[in-house]
Structure 1
Amino acid sequence: MRNTIARRAALAGALLVAGLTAAAAPAQAEPQPGVANIGSAEFTKNGTTIKVPTQGHCSVEGPTSATAQVVTKTGITFGGGTSSCTTTVTDPNTDATSTTSTATGKNFELSALVSVGGPRVKLSTFTVKCTATQTQTNANWSYGGMSGIPNPPSPVPVGYVSPIKKSNGTVLANAVFNIQNLPGDGSIGLTMLRIDFLPASGITGKVVLGHTSCSPTP
């Protein structure tokens, strides 16, 4: 599964989203000029709060690369991964540059819903990437080996919600794919997947997988 966004900085408001339907994107922080991370989590179950800080964060302003190790806590595992945020001089005469920000995670597992009758959620691999030049930004994401979440359509609409249910149909959480922030200046903010726990699960909080953003270069 792969989705791509492209923006031309010279045409603020002119948006090419590869086959995506128009939809209101859930709010997120303003895009930063060249960052990426594998994800994070914070949720509370049975009075205990589980926190996994942002994994594998990189930025073109430093650190420009990161390696995340396996993190296992009650109900969740991030299987590690890598990230890289680079700046390349494309024209030494004018100091024109391009940036590439990428994060790749692997072997993610969410088991917090199993004890309340929900599925075990797994992704074997996932990647987010954002590239930028003076005139254009592009972002894309992909994943493989997903189970426990109904597959979204292809291409994936902006902010597409895939309910995570018990066998009797009770919705325990929402998996929100392809969350975008497009402020109109050519920048892109992209989150591949966010899992929002719902009251029926007895859990509060969220899990985020794969975030990147980039802005037109100076």
Structure 2
Amino acid sequence: MKNFDTAVAQDYDQDIRRKIPGYDLIQDLLASVLHTEFASAPHLLVAGSGTGEEMLRLGTQHPDWRMDGIEPSAAMIATAVSRTQKTKFKSNLRFFESTIQDYHTDEMYDGALSVLVSHFLPDDGQKEKYFAALAGMLKLGAPLIVIDMMKQADPVGDKHIASTYFWAKYNGMPEDALRNFPLRLRSMFFPITEDRLREICAPYGLIVEGKFVQSLSTQGFILRKIT
């Protein structure tokens, strides 16, 4: 799992926009999808909550929504707290320093988000443990939004990596970072196919209802807890 230290946390919100084409649109669509899910204010689990981007956006639109952010990096939590501490909805936000796999609670959540998290986990049983933990904290019928870099068959996958490189270049990634960027895209992440995502999640009562967004290799899915 990537180590998000203080320096990384402080630059994350700018850096992620250089690395993920259409990052802000993806976030906007995520919020729109969730808006259709709940008749009353939900209690949401935000896995790998990072610098609080999803919580800040959703809280701004829905100040009465309660959200628990689970994040293993203290530096990322500190940034998230700083970003949200002056909001009118800060009392509805909680942050816990933990991985999802190690997080223990009696709460059963109305929904959950996993945004750019599980692609850091090797497909050697760690992904299964991650989704099993998420499923175990969701109410029956709850949505789970998963956004990750996904595996694409070559040559499509190679073209997506090349296109992401040029996106980063034209959006201000420094030259020293650009030199190794394609290699990092191939070595830092553990992407899987949509079929593999379905296979991993099915034993834990999670079905993939469908894809709601794709920007090159980054794809967003709506999953549902059905058992």
TM range (shorter): under 0.3
Q: TM-score, normalised by structure 2?
A: 0.25
User: Which one has the bigger strand percentage?
Assistant: 1
Bigger RCO (CA 8 Å, 6+ sep): 1
User: Which one has the bigger helix percentage?
Assistant: 2
